[in-house]
Amino acid sequence: MQPSVPPPPGMPGLVSVKLKPGWAFDAKAQCFTGPKGATFTPDLPAGARLTPTVPQLAGKPPGTLSAAERDLQRYLQVILPVDHDAAAFAADARRWPCAASADAGPAVSLPGS
């Protein structure tokens, strides 16, 4: 479905990534750590940033969280610079060894009249 009114210029792209079980995002190092000491640092476009979807859960020991909180802890967002295609980046992010899924955010719009 196409938006009735196109998004305003200058809107950054957004990609939602869900991590595979056993993987975690280290916000300080901006890298992922996985089972058996595996690490992965993604190649991001200049100006892109990674952020946990629920920052309050970032870095908390999984044993102290409920099952729902542990699931939420696996989600993060990649905020892309304005000139990058979120759908193309999501396709690349799906190939990350830590990614269970990656999806571009919907086009934000206002309804047409």
Angle at 37 between CA 102 and CA 88, to 5 degrees: 20
pLDDT of residue 10: 76
Q: What is the mean pLDDT of residues 73-95?
A: 94
Would you say residue 2 has pLDDT above 70? no
Strand runs labelled E in 1-113: 14-19, 24-26, 31-33, 39-40, 49-52, 75-79, 99-104
> Could you read off the pLDDT of 80-89 as tens digits, one per residue?
998 899 999 9
Q: What is the mean pLDDT of residues 86-113?
A: 87
Q: How far apart are CA 102 and CA 37, in angstroms?
A: 23
> Could you read off the pLDDT of 4-57 as tens digits, one per residue?
676 677 778 899 999 999 999 988 888 999 988 899 999 999 999 999 999 999
pLDDT of residue 113: 55
Q: What is the mean pLDDT of residues 70-89?
A: 93
Q: Which of 55, 90, 100 is nearest to 73 (CA)?
A: 55
